[in-house]
Structure 1
Amino acid sequence: MDKKWFLLSIVSLGLGGFLAFVVAMARTPGVYKYFPPGYFYYALIGHVDLAIVIFLLSFTILIWSRTYKKDLKLAFYLSSLGFVGVALSAFLGKGIAVSNNYLPTIVHPLFLSGIALYFLGFTLYALYVSKEALLTLFSKDPTKNSVATSVVLGLLMMFAVIPSYLRAGDPSDTYIFYERLFWAPGHIHQFLNGAVLLYAWYYLLRLLGKEKELGFLRFVNLSFLFFSFLMLLVPVFYSDPISRDAKIFTEISYAIGLGIPMFFHAFNVVKDMKLDWKNPFSSALLLSLCLYFLGVLIAYAGIKADLRVPAHYHGTVTSLTLALMAISYRLVQEYGYTKKLNALTKFQPYLYGLGMIMFILGLYFAGREGAPRKTYGTGYTQDPTVLFSLMVMGLGTMMAVIGGVLFVLYILKQVVSYHEDKG
């Protein structure tokens, strides 16, 4: 069954990556006029939900399945139906597009039922492997340790929906309602992504011949769990979970509960790492570390509600995406889809990783000059710094999208060729 989760995640990444191209081009100078402004927000929502939320969570379940050797078909079927609903609603552009954070929403029965089905499947699988996760929560094996942590965080994320819903207010006030609803679960999701990123780093390090056994670091996941539990209680402690005080609390929790532990683990990975520029596992690990700490540096430098926000989270999130791409190259071999990786896998991590670095830097410097986020076109400015930065962002997007397309097509080609040969 983990093969099916693998394919679901790859297809979701591919569709979300296509929408990322639409979004980036729709705010690139000289190009944006060729993209319909009315569709911009649907494309943005589809990109985030498909390429970030559904891709990462589907790959997370794949990792759970491989680690605990357990299968739950019902969870897969529910989540697959949910994925179809989310994808169709984004591509059709029907309903009210709400650009709230973490899980941007389209107020339409197709989208809402789709997202409900997807997360129902996710929750059922997390509950299904929760016993095994608790038994290995403090394992000295870094991959088992991080996987177990991610299962508990997945459950905390879903439980956080309950108090968040009670504080969300009137659904007719769409932006505020969905911002409150997904604020606490969305923050916990970032802790979950951190745990999966640790799994990916240590897994890639193992592929490079470096085995690790955790000492005191095996207890660092307590920080993830403790601060995520506090995130779950934000809607309980604060009458408004998106109030200024609540936001300050969540930012401090991120910095201490997620940032510091990740730094210790990154040092543990880097100190024994040997670079091999022609090895996709080595290059992807290096670029993943660079992307993550670029995102972290942007956050610690201070950001406001402008393009520096997506610059920050694209650094931290795409560090995980790139690492999972490299793991996928290993999986196509383990699943028997191919025996030997071709030359494409050697340069694809560079194309995607360096493209994302340019994309992030372009967003960051445009944001420093006040360029707003979630905004179509460039009509709001004539500032040459902003326009140049957005051109850099557009060029980086092209590189990253090409790298992402090559990755998706390569994986799907191996799968299709394998089944054709078997047929």
Structure 2
Amino acid sequence: MNSTNQLQNNSLTNSWLKLGILSLGFAGLYSIILVVLRTPQLSSFFPNPHIFKSALIIHVNLSVLIWLLSVTASVWGGETSLRGEANPRRGNLMKQYKISEIATFSTFARNDVFRLYPKLAFLATLLIAISPIAGHNPVMNNYIPMLENIVFIVGLSLFGVTLLLYAINILYFFDWTNLNSLVNFTVLSTIIMFILSFFCFGWSYNGLQNLIQIIPIEIEFYYELLFWSGGHLLQFIYTQILIFIWVSLFRELIARELKFQKFYLFLLYLNFIFGILTLFGHIFYDIIDGAFKVFYTNHMKYLGGIAPVLCLIGMGVELVWVFVIPRLDREIQTKYQNNVIDLAVKPRDDTVTINDRVIKTILLCSITLFLLGGLIAMNITGINVVIPAHYHGSIVGISIACMGFSYLGIGRYQRHCERLKRAWQSHEVIQKLPRLPRRYFVPPRNDNIINFTFYLLTFGQILHILGLAFAGGYGVMRKDPNSVMPMSAKLLMVMMGGGGFIAIVGGLMFVYICVKVMFFKSIKLAHE
């Protein structure tokens, strides 16, 4: 299995990561409005009732849909060979009919075509971010809330179609010879699930079009059903990426080959199969049937968390297997063999590197929030703010894992620039090479700051979701900042607001660190 650093092996991966980080930055700005409107005594700053819902819609789409799918796209690009000619895989009949030139745009330079996708996706993200200026007509629904204006719809459609074409192109050049690789199967399974999510959207759209010919339905109910099945499938894509990133980071943490790699591969297959089961909702139920929504709710409730929890159990057992058992063996040998230790069974030195501490921080924060979100889900009893508390916990746990994946990807720039810096300082190389532009150099990473950033974000989110969860027990309704609350609930919502502000600061710190390195790469050379 390749390491996380190897995933960041081409500029295509970095382009998608840049897009994801920018979307997080935009989402962070909108989250300020959300926290202010949810915090008592501060909501009067925004008297327009549509501002909360509009900000919530943009925040959700940027911080979940755009961000997580951008990271997913970066995994696709990083693990697919984009070198050589654009030849279809062996046995592809399309080659005989010259359709490959249409399907893959091979009339252009292959790399240029692939780099076009993140640029189009960035344009789509920008349209979504600025769409409230075209008018506030929010339509709330789960998974993909909508603003009913042309700018938002064009932006969302452009992003979806761009990523769909990119997925099809990646699938076309995919290496099918090694599906026992964790990386390869993650890429293949997430691409298939993403394409199938569009089938679900189309299936739902067709059913709704037939339905509205018979009876009129409200626009909120229309979009809720339109995105219900496909949105569920997207959650399994996020879970698949989460498992892959956890295992990738865990392998770097223990600095050795995984003993349970086949088990982790089995979990990826299992989660993939669970995701594919979403299609049965369309097969067995009509979209207007109440059992249609219940099927997907139960599907997520009973199957959504199985693979990630088993993954955590597997990593825990492997951690004991790799470190605790050899350490006990060493203690036994020390006690009964006069302190003569067999070096063959000596575990890794207890001294950890800075990078180890960063990975530990990422895993600890991600796992803590993900499990906390799952525990809160067990206490959902109505339509109140316990629901967003659960969702914030689980989805931010996934998001922190993706943030860690993105941050460690910057290590590629670091190592490359360190090599260039050493070469620059070599007198012989200076005589042979032209002066290198400043953009090839980046400042050294400050891992203490990034550790603090992740802990700050996690602490703020814990306060945020616990405030929401306990306030839900007092009947505070979701998606309604103006609901009447008792004093105890108000205090909890103040706690929620304070935690939200702390989390926003942590998130924006992360965005600042990554943007500074990825977009403004410079370092002061000794001779300048």
TM-score where L is the length of structure 1: 0.91
1:203 aligns with 2:248: yes
- 2:155 aligned residue: 114
Q: 1:352 aligns with which of 446, 450, 457?
A: 457
Alpha-carbon distance in 2 for matches of 1:287, 1:277? 19
Q: How far does residue 350 in structure 1 lie from its aligned partner after superposition? A: 0.4
Further displaced range: 128-137 or 65-74: 128-137
- 2:370 aligned residue: 292
Q: 1:321 to 1:419 in 2, by over 3 A?
A: same
User: Pairwise mapping of residues 118-137 of structure 1 onto structure 2 (< 5 A)?
Assistant: 118-131=159-172, 135=176
Alpha-carbon distance in 1 for matches of 2:191, 2:446? 31
Secondary structure in 1 matching 2:303: helix
Q: 1:421 to 1:87 in 2, by over 3 A?
A: farther
- 5+ residue gaps, structure 2, are 1-11, 83-110, 324-349, 415-441
- 1:403 aligned residue: 506
Q: 1:130 to 1:364 in 2, by over 3 A?
A: same
Q: How far does residue 174 in structure 1 lie from its aligned partner after superposition? A: 1.4
Further displaced range: 200-209 or 312-321: 200-209
Alpha-carbon distance in 2 for matches of 1:144, 1:256? 27
Q: Which amino acid letter does the alignment assign opposite residue 293 of structure 1?
A: L
Per-residue deviation, residues 156-189 of structure 1 (Å, max 9, x unmatched): 2122111011123549731111111111111001
- 2:88 aligned residue: none
Secondary structure in 2 matching 1:370: coil
1:257 aligns with 2:310: no
Q: How far does residue 352 in structure 1 lie from its aligned partner after superposition? A: 0.5
Q: Which amino acid letter does the alignment assign opposite residue 507 of structure 2?
A: G
Per-residue deviation, residues 182-241 of structure 1 (Å, max 9, x unmatched): 111110010000001111111221231253252244233343333333323424432236
1:281 aligns with 2:359: yes
Q: Which amino acid letter does the alignment assign opposite residue 89 of structure 1?
A: S
1:102 aligns with 2:143: yes
Q: How far does residue 137 in structure 1 lie from its aligned partner after superposition? A: 7.9
Q: 1:43 aligns with which of 26, 30, 55?
A: 55
**In the alignment, is the contact (CA less than 8 A) between 1:280 and 1:347 conserved in 2?**
no
1:85 aligns with 2:127: yes
Q: How many residues are paired up? A: 417
Q: 1:120 to 1:408 in 2, by over 3 A?
A: same
Q: 1:187 aligns with which of 232, 236, 241?
A: 232
Q: 1:326 to 1:216 in 2, by over 3 A?
A: closer
Secondary structure in 1 matching 2:138: strand
Q: How far does residue 128 in structure 1 lie from its aligned partner after superposition? A: 1.6
Q: Which amino acid letter does the alignment assign opposite residue 335 of structure 1?
A: Y
**In the alignment, is the contact (CA less than 8 A) between 2:201 and 2:226 conserved in 1?**
yes
Q: 1:305 aligns with which of 383, 398, 402?
A: 383
- 1:391 aligned residue: 494
**In the alignment, is the contact (CA less than 8 A) between 1:200 and 1:320 conserved in 2?**
no
User: Pairwise mapping of residues 60-75 of structure 1 onto structure 2 (< 5 A)?
Assistant: 60-70=72-82, 71=111, 72-75=114-117
Q: How far does residue 132 in structure 1 lie from its aligned partner after superposition? A: 6.0
**In the alignment, is the contact (CA less than 8 A) between 1:362 and 1:392 conserved in 2?**
yes
1:226 aligns with 2:331: no
What is the aligned-residue identity percentage?
29
Alpha-carbon distance in 2 for matches of 1:277, 1:100? 45
**In the alignment, is the contact (CA less than 8 A) between 1:6 and 1:59 conserved in 2?**
yes
Q: Which amino acid letter does the alignment assign opposite residue 454 of structure 2?
A: P
